[in-house]
Structure 1
């Protein structure tokens, strides 16, 4: 199962699906890029290609991390 990371940069929206078991690792890499501790976030695709997201682009974007099923369950219990 995959989880979605959406990067909104101006009028452009990049949607990246990452495997659930690697989601936290991808999230951490993005956070490091935003804090100037990394140069770019590289996402491999199923077809063997790679997508590069430079740190500058990530810092100037709105990034939405899809919540996990457990997060949604906890949130719904609080309401």
Structure 2
């Protein structure tokens, strides 16, 4: 059985899955990234139906609301 401090250092499958999703989102140079997929969908607007575009825009609004928090984290990490 692992000690308590060893358990704290373990990463769960959920954490790993989350990190992989985040990594996929931020890999701007990867042709399979979420950003690249969005660019391709915009170039070929027929790939998504109106309902899907509306849903996507709603999700992007949520991300936009988080940007000031992300900027603050970046600033604090640079200063730290």
TM-score, length-scaled by structure 1: 0.30
Higher Rg of the two aligned structures: 2
Return the structure number with greater strand share: 1
Structure scoring higher RCO (CA < 8 A, sep ≥ 6) equals 1
Return the structure number with greater helix share: 2
